[in-house]
Amino acid sequence: MLESIGFAQKQRLAYIDFCLLFKGSIYRQDLISRFQVGLSAGSRDFSIYKELAPDNLSYDSREKRYLQTTEFKPVFEHDAKITLTKLANNISDGFDAIGDIHFPVEAPSSLNVPDIFIVARLVQAILNNKAVSIIYTSLSSGSGARELVPHSIVDNGLRWHVRAFDRKSQSFRDFVLTRISKVTIKDMPDPEESAQADTEWQCLVPLQIVPHPKNVQHPTAIEMDYGMENKQLLIEVRAAMAGYLLRRWNVDCTERGILRGPEYQLWLLNRFTLNNVPNLTIAPGYITKEQSNGGQT
């Protein structure tokens, strides 16, 4: 049946499929507003979708929206890499499932690609403000059940993780998506478990980055690469993300710029003003003030 449907209508059907998969529901008005179609055309699209997958959705007459059923199976194949990138950039359309326009641009492959259904359940929980029960395999304790309150899906440059409140440790942490093998949506979270209570996420820290003083012979080239002004790059990032960014860019975070090698073309100039940012411990060469004093406080 899909072969006989035109491209424009396939886009709308893919959007319905995408919303059910990642949001768990869709209003008819969502489709009408997104594609600027009439009420009758929108109704026809839902009728065709129900013909294609009658067990995928049910209609809630009280809330006037279509809901994902427990028997849901996507009609379209949603590409995990493309979908994650679109979610990260707030482009939620599902069009990759029917053949997006692909530009001749290549990027290094991610180390791993998460299961699209794991991502979908987590996104549903985030959008609907729900906690989740997961099976997670960690390096320290192996596989086990955890209860999380997720609030963001994050690309740290190497892999994807979910930022969430961990009810076991009673703290906000990062959980690698590929280590999650099962997700069950649960109850509503308490206010202290929400993104607003995640101080590292809400806090923006300034990073003052300059060409490496010892490894770079022609700093003007680095200034051009990063669009520096007055020979430096000033950016603000979430405290929970600062270390990831510095590690991705190979920024030397030692006190006097002592890291050697062609990969270290940048140096963090204001490292001591950032001593209370836990995420910086993963940045190249970064040590805390206490560590530099031999553990003395």
Confidence of residue 73 (pLDDT cuts 50, 70, 90): very high
What does the angle CA 72 – CA 76 – CA 80 come to, to the nearest 5 degrees? Answer: 95
Residue 208 tokens, joined: 């003052």
pLDDT tens per residue across span 11-50: 899 999 999 998 899 999 999 998 999 999 999 999 999 9
Q: What is the pTM of this model?
A: 0.80
Average pLDDT over residues 264-284: 89
pLDDT value of position 84:
78
Run of H or E including 166: strand 160-166
Name the CATH architecture for the domain at 2-78+93-98.
Orthogonal Bundle (1.10)
pLDDT tens per residue across span 107-140: 455 567 788 899 999 999 998 999 999 999 998 8
How far apart are alpha carbons 176 and 158 in whole angstroms?
11
116-198 adopts what CATH topology? SH3 type barrels. (2.30.30)
pLDDT value of position 296:
37
Q: Which long-range contacts (CB under 8 A, 24 or more apart) does 185-188 make?
A: 185/121, 185/124, 185/125, 185/128, 185/130, 185/131, 185/132, 186/130, 186/131, 186/132, 186/133, 186/147, 187/130, 187/131, 188/129, 188/130, 188/131
| Domain spans of the chain, in order of start | 2-78+93-98, 116-198, 203-292
Confidence of residue 247 (pLDDT cuts 50, 70, 90): very high
| Same fold: 2-78+93-98 with 116-198 | no
Integer CA distances (angstroms), 31 to 69, 77, 282, in order: 19, 20, 43
pLDDT value of position 177:
93
pLDDT value of position 129:
93
Average pLDDT over residues 154-167: 89
How far apart are alpha carbons 123 and 53 in whole angstroms?
22
Q: Is 113 left (phi over 0), alpha (psi -120 to 50) or beta?
A: beta
Least Cα distance to 154 among 137, 170, 131, 173 occurs for: 173
How far apart are alpha carbons 105 and 172 in whole angstroms?
36
How far apart are alpha carbons 104 and 108 in whole angstroms?
14
Least Cα distance to 68 among 91, 96, 49, 86 occurs for: 49
pLDDT tens per residue across span 226-239: 999 999 999 999 99
236 three-class SS: strand
Dihedral angle computed from the Cα positions of residues 257, 258, 261 and 266, in that order, rounded to the nearest 10 degrees: -10
Q: Return the bridge partners of 69, or none.
A: none
Residue 274 tokens, joined: 């950032």
pLDDT value of position 112:
72
